[in-house]
Amino acid sequence: MPTETPAQAPPKPAATPLKVARAIFDALGKKELDAAFEFLGPDTVDDFVAIGEIRGKPAIRRFFDELFAAFPDFEMTTQRIIADRGTAVVQWHAAGTFCGGAFQGIEATGRHVEIRGVDVMEISDGKVRHNTIYYDGASFARQIGMLPHSGSRTDKAVLSVFNAVTRVRHGLSEHLHGNG
């Protein structure tokens, strides 16, 4: 008598970019990195336009561990997700107080930060392959106190000194190259 082989379940279709992005951002909002990282490939690249590329799942994990340690009350809300067959675009808002550990080599200042940003995620087979993250790095630096507030006396003084140095450099360059 022939032996029966158990029926195999049909292969599970890969999650759509919309579902992947939603799952990642829902998990990040809850600080559940293990759940979020299920959707990253081992060679995923996070390209933070303001700070540079982070390559590979372990390095990206270290970035988020550092972020959550630096901003213990970190909150992220998703405002909008738009997706097609290979890409998801996520508009988000993040807020937190920089009162934990250092972040990107910057010591905690105790200041509250609110930033808006957009992630453009390239997704295939249910995994993020490349993510480009856009946010205003100058606004972040101003909020933590690394740069002066826009329009403040200090900001105007820094701008004035910068412009004076630029004019001197241009004058020297023209003098050295015989253009002046």
User: Any idea where the domains of the chain sit in the sequence?
Assistant: 17-147, 148-180
Which 3 state secondary structure label does DSSP give 87? Answer: strand
pLDDT for 4 equals: 58
Chain centroid to CA 78: how far?
Answer: 14
- Fold topology of 17-147: Nuclear Transport Factor 2; Chain: A, (3.10.450)
Provide CB contacts within 8 A for 125, sequence distance 6+: 14
pLDDT of 1: 58
Please give the pLDDT value at position 9: 59
- Predicted confidence at residue 144, as pLDDT, reads 96
Q: What is the pLDDT, as a whole number, of residue 69?
A: 98
**pLDDT by residue, tens only, the chain of 180 residues:** 555 555 665 555 568 999 999 999 999 999 999 999 999 999 999 999 999 999 999 999 999 999 999 999 999 999 999 999 999 999 999 999 999 999 999 999 999 999 999 999 999 999 999 999 999 999 999 999 999 888 889 878 887 888 888 888 888 888 888 765
Beta bridge partners of residue 123, listed in sequence order: 128
